[in-house]
Structure 1
């Protein structure tokens, strides 16, 4: 994979990559060892000098060792180019392989998708979703794109839709209770004064019988944050077996969906916004009638 940069200031190649392209020292070091540099089409070294008007082309190394075996699992691709891949993850699909879930994961499906394109890179997750949370999952298709998503100018914004138990007082609210790992569990989280700061915003979208459809936004990103916060105010997610009443006919797993994603494209700098409808919504509407 190659990327071309327009040079506007006189600098050495390695300094340009760090100062102007925003690459880390580690990435530049890897490029020195495994990549390639071309000034106006001619091979140059990392210490050669660039002049205004030059075009620096960087060749990123291919990845030959994959983190998992590719598997031909269908993917719902929402958007894709050479820098990013956005999919709509189904409920019940694990994101990364593990001892408990060695097959059928997002990572393995994406690796297979890459093999069909002869794309020799690994999977760089920008956001993560629990197995029972469906919706928009963003993947950077190479290390440079991935690194740019962690800069402030990436403008990454995420929104969720959830179905919660009970009728809520008021149309919107903000939960600021800190969250910590529960003392008796390696998985469960709880509200704790000794926990990390956590802020969740919610707005009522629709009242559905004895349940409420809400839009949720996060100002922080703690593990299980939405599930813990909504349960803490007496409105656990429908179908949540860890923080709620347990399985529900209204949803498969907890009724939580990553329904909105906005970001600044790492290469074109275009603001991009996407939406996805939760699979549990039509079922909930039908059951509430």
Structure 2
């Protein structure tokens, strides 16, 4: 059972406990937090409280997060695009539209289902729903992911993410013409208090840094390469919107009038890391999906 502690800050006092705690981790919903309170898994200053409790400055919150519910995640035969595989690591190119891992109510058709059919020796660090998953990309983002086949490899790869030594470069088409060739967006990201399904730049958010360079400019769009220094939820999508150049096709953060692409024009093209056993640096590159490349070709032709 995982334990999480949090001390209430000035900007959090007088807020309901479920709202405050749900903003600590983007994967926690207010409904889930309320259930923890009812179950006594969430305490304030060592005491069980009611779901409508309002926080005071310096309140000490402790959450005993229960083990994930044991659910059957069935292997599914899929035509996975495997770029590399050995006894420790799999590198796979995920298509746009595929969810990375199952969630309650959505247990089939995910990358994890396919991986479990392809190889049954995935690490168990993330529990039954996310075996082997070291990092994620959004459903409608395509591109490369590294997957751990044992716990040793998983811990080594996660540490590289913590140390910011993993190379993660994305190609994106954004609205607008970016005037400068290079840039760095250093802006903290957290849950949007007005929309729980969205992330946004907030003062009290988690540190988030994205580097970008412009590869091509068109009449109304720019083609950019974005390199992640950190890996927050929706980071590139939120950061590019924040500087005024939202991703084309992004249904959550972009304008409605956009390019004809099913989901945001974002592709995890380059992935590099040090192999957990051999300690050799490995780098992989996946070409853009056909519809992404077709849109680029049309933009180059001025259509």
What TM-score results when the alignment is normalised by the length of structure 1? Answer: 0.72
Could you tell me which residue of structure 2 aligns to residue 83 of structure 1?
88
Could you tell me which residue of structure 1 aligns to residue 292 of structure 2?
281
User: In terms of Rg, which structure is larger?
Assistant: 1
Task: Mark the runs of 5 or more structure 1 residues left unpaired by the alignment.
Answer: 1-64
What's the CA shift for 1:113?
0.4
Q: 1:143 aligns with which of 138, 145, 151?
A: 151
Could you tell me which residue of structure 2 aligns to residue 102 of structure 1?
107
State the distance in 2 between where 1:158 and 1:121 align: 22
Q: Which moved more, 1:179-188 or 1:148-157?
A: 148-157
State the distance in 1 between where 2:152 and 2:211 align: 32
Call closer, same or farther: CA 1:100–1:210 in 2, change over 3 Å. Answer: farther
Task: Mark the runs of 5 or more structure 2 residues left unpaired by the alignment.
Answer: 1-69, 125-130
Call closer, same or farther: CA 1:208–1:281 in 2, change over 3 Å. Answer: farther
Q: 1:219 aligns with which of 218, 222, 229?
A: 229
What's the CA shift for 1:247?
7.1
Could you tell me which residue of structure 1 aligns to residue 136 of structure 2?
128
What TM-score results when the alignment is normalised by the length of structure 2? Answer: 0.68
Q: Which moved more, 1:257-266 or 1:65-74?
A: 65-74
Give the secondary structure class of the aligned counterpart of 2:195: coil
Confirm or deny that 1:174 pairs with 2:184. Answer: yes
State the distance in 2 between where 1:188 and 1:267 align: 38
Once the two structures are superposed, the pairs formed by residues 199-218 of structure 1 within 5 Å of their partners are 199-218=209-228
1:236-288 CA distances to partner (integer Å, 9 max, x unpaired)? 00001111113744422011111111111111111101111221432212321
CA contact (8 A) 1:238 1:255 kept: yes
Kindly report the root-mean-square deviation, in angstroms, between the aligned alpha carbons of the 2 structures: 2.1
Q: Which moved more, 1:279-288 or 1:106-115?
A: 279-288
Could you tell me which residue of structure 2 aligns to residue 158 of structure 1?
168
